[in-house]
């Protein structure tokens, strides 16, 4: 474990102990996949608490952890706001990527841990962030690249998001993680081995480093720097004995 990972583990343990000792709900910053994996690893040490996580919408990748005293009266109210970002004049707007939005937000002097996912649509984007910095972002984020923009809060009750997904059907020699990655990303199993062994592949937020790991139907597989997909189902065999597989890849 690196020094940074040790610091993350200590910070999460401290949040859990504070929740227990003071009888309050405590919240982490937004956790990336690796940090969420660290959280899974310390759950046994905080078994006297409920540990939940949420990122502002159902399938969020970056999530905030809530440490909840084990009592029915405590229900997390995550301090997360959603901000809509859109151009002032659509006809003069550039085509902006996730990197463009993220770069502009970080250029405000904010740490990445203070912000969650950025959902990019054709003419706008949605940013999830800690509630206490939402006003600052809305007031100071006025331009992305050469495009003048406006940013404003979205009421949580009115926000809905349906991720865009592409269905991929194919066959696999066996239902192994490397086989599913090969089908999802159109690359050979051997070329993807380094990603798995290099700690860049997560299944349902947990780090998996074994090529032979067998995902279950419904599992969400995330590959850092490449994207993610859901293993929808497998069923039936081809004449060559290969398994038919269906994946849903986020686009």
Distance CA 129, CA 230 (A): 25
- Work out the number of other CB atoms within 10 angstroms of the CB of residue 239: 5
- CA distance linking residue 241 with residue 70, whole number of Å: 49
> Taking the CB of residue 116, how many other CB atoms lie within 10 A of it?
29
Q: Which domains does the chain have, with CATH numbers?
A: 3-69 (3.30.1370.160), 80-158 (3.30.70.330), 165-250 (3.10.290.10)
Q: Is 158 exposed, middle or buried (0-12, 13-18, 19+ CB in 10 A)?
A: exposed
pTM score: 0.89
The angle formed by the CA atoms of residues 41, 47 and 50, to the nearest 5 degrees, is 95
Tell me the per-residue pLDDT of 123-157, one tens digit each, with 9 for 90 and over: 999 999 999 999 999 999 999 999 999 999 999 88
Average pLDDT over residues 209-228: 95
For 7-31, letters b (16+ CB in 10 Å) and e give ebbeebeebbbebbeeeebbbbbbb
What is the side-by-side strand order in the sheet with 26-31?
Answer: 26-31, 63-69, 49-54
Give the least confident one: 20-24, 68-72, 104-108, 111-115. Answer: 68-72
Condensed to tens digits (0 to 9), the pLDDT of residues 7-24 reads 999 999 999 999 999 999
pLDDT on residue 224: 93
- What is the pLDDT at residue 141? 98
Does 248 score more than 80 pLDDT?
yes
């Amino acid at each position: 474990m690196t020094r940074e990972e040790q610091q993350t583990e200590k910070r999460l343990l401290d949040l859990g102990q504070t929740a227990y000792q003071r009888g309050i709900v405590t919240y982490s910053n937004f956790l990336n996949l690796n940090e969420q994996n660290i959280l899974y690893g310390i759950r046994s040490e905080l078994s006297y608490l409920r540990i939940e996580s949420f990122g502002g919408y159902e399938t969020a990748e970056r999530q905030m952890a809530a440490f909840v005293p084990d009592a029915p009266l405590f229900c997390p109210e995550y301090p997360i706001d959603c901000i809509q970002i859109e151009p002032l004049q659509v006809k003069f707007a550039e085509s902006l990527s996730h990197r463009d939005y993220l770069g502009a937000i970080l250029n405000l002097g904010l740490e990445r841990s203070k912000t969650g996912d950025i959902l990019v649509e054709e003419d706008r984007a949605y940013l999830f962030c800690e509630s206490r910095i939402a006003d600052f972002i809305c007031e100071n984020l006025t331009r992305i690249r050469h495009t003048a923009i406006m940013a404003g809060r979205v009421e949580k009750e009115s926000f809905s998001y349906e991720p865009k997904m592409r269905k991929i059907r194919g066959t696999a020699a066996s239902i192994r993680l490397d086989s599913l990655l090969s089908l999802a990303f159109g690359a050979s199993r051997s070329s993807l081995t380094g990603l798995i062994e290099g700690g860049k592949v997560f299944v349902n937020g947990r780090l998996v480093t074994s090529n032979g790991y067998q995902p279950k139907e419904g599992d969400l597989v995330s590959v850092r720097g490449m994207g993610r997909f859901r293993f929808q189902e497998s069923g039936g065999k081809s004449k060559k004995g290969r398994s038919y597989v269906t994946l849903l890849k986020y686009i």
